[in-house]
Structure 1
Amino acid sequence: MSMNTPVRCSSWALSILLLTCLGMTAGCGGHAKSTRYYASAAGSNCYAKALPTTGEGGLAWGNTLGVARQKPLNNCTRYAGRSGGTPDTCKVVLAGCKE
Structure 2
Amino acid sequence: MTGTTARQCSSWVLLSLLAIDLALTAGCAGNASTARYSASNTGSSCYAKALPTAGEGGLAWGSTLNMAREKSMVNCIRYAGRSGGAPDTCHVVLSECKN
Question: TM over 0.5: same fold?
Answer: yes
Which has the higher Rg, Structure 1 or Structure 2? 2
**Stretches (4+) displaced over 3 A:** none
Percent sequence identity is 70
Name the structure 2 match of 1:87.
87
For the pair 1:58 / 2:58, whether they are aligned, the reply is: yes
Structure 2: tracts of 5 or more residues without a match: 1-38
Name the structure 2 match of 1:25.
none
Q: Alignment partner of 1:92: what SS?
A: strand
TM-score, normalised via structure 1 length:
0.58
> How many pairs does the alignment contain?
60
Name the structure 1 match of 2:17.
none
Q: Which has the higher helix share?
A: 2
Name the CA distance, whole Å, in 1 between partners of 2:60 and 2:77. 13
Aligned Cα root-mean-square deviation (Å): 1.4
The offset of 1:43, in angstroms, is 2.1
Structure 1: tracts of 5 or more residues without a match: 1-39
Q: Which amino acid aligns with 2:88?
A: D
TM-score, normalised via structure 2 length:
0.58
Name the CA distance, whole Å, in 1 between partners of 2:92 and 2:60. 11
Name the CA distance, whole Å, in 2 between partners of 1:88 and 1:58. 13
